[in-house]
Amino acid sequence: MKKDIILPFDYIIVPGSEAIKTCMEIRKDTSRGVTPIILGDAAEIEYLEDSLEYNNHLTPQSIIKQSENVNIKDFLNNRYAEFATDDESLEEWPSEDVESHNGLVSIIDFMTGNPLDEVYIALIPTLDSYKVPAYLKYGDWNDCPSPEEHIAIFKYWYEKYGARIIAVTHDIIECTVDNPPKTKEEAIKLAKEQFKYCIDIVAQGTETISGLAASLLNSKYWYFWWD
């Protein structure tokens, strides 16, 4: 018997193969006043329920208000300040082609490589996807930024690149991107920002900032993961 899922917002359940299409259709209908967010399968919902309960003393409104005090320049400069990102060697473009993200990890069954049978899609009551971390009370564990820091950085990236959060699991955030960087210089600048925001995508992923930059060039999807 399935456990009753109780969340502080509406949600729907769809096949993983239909999740992206469903989200795009809901996004287009702004009259609904919601942002669709893929949460993953039932196992992921258990993580979310625990997180929401643990942070029950926080409200979305208070987190959003706190995000207004986050200075993006200071955040990016001070985070992992011990790791230099101004070394010219970091900007050497990879000699081999680097594959861009061309879909979402959050809808895939890692055991089979196929779309999940079912995924939950939250209908978050805001049209601003960068505010989603406030409603999910997401972050502030290990090296994962706090909810208010997530909001501030994604607002900045939305205004600059049209990046919108589309999926959030217990350790992953994924975005669609309307205006990705189109030059190597733009991609390297963004990669340095993303490295500061989420070091694991380099340290346990592309291995170099330039490799990350190559994957971001003209890419319509972004992926972040925290250990």
> What pLDDT is recorded for position 116?
97
Question: What's residue 85's pLDDT?
Answer: 61
Please choose, from the candidates 8, 102, 99, the residue with its C-alpha nearest in 3D space to the C-alpha of residue 59.
8
For residues 202 and 29, give the distance between their C-alpha atoms in angstroms, rounded to a whole number: 36
Q: What is the pTM of this model?
A: 0.92
Q: Which residues lie closer than 8 Å to 221 by C-beta, 6 or more apart?
A: 100, 101, 102, 103, 104, 174, 175, 176, 177
DSSP E strands, the chain: 10-14, 35-40, 119-124, 163-168, 172-177, 221-225
Per-residue pLDDT of the chain (227 residues; tens, 9 = 90+): 355 678 999 999 999 999 999 999 999 999 999 999 999 999 999 989 888 888 888 899 999 999 999 999 999 988 877 666 666 546 577 766 666 677 899 999 989 999 999 999 999 999 999 999 999 999 998 889 999 999 999 999 999 999 999 999 999 999 999 999 999 999 999 999 999 999 999 888 888 899 999 999 999 999 999 98
Task: Identify which of 60, 39, 40, 42 has the alpha carbon closest to the alpha carbon of residue 122.
Answer: 39
CA-CA distance, 214 to 94, in Å (whole number)?
Answer: 7
Q: Which residues pair with 11 in a beta bridge?
A: 122
Domain ranges of the chain: 10-225
pLDDT on residue 63:
97
Q: Which two tokens stand for residue 206?
A: 């592309």
How many Cα atoms sit within 13 Å of 155 on the Cβ side?
A: 19
pLDDT at 2: 52
> What pLDDT shows up at residue 165?
99
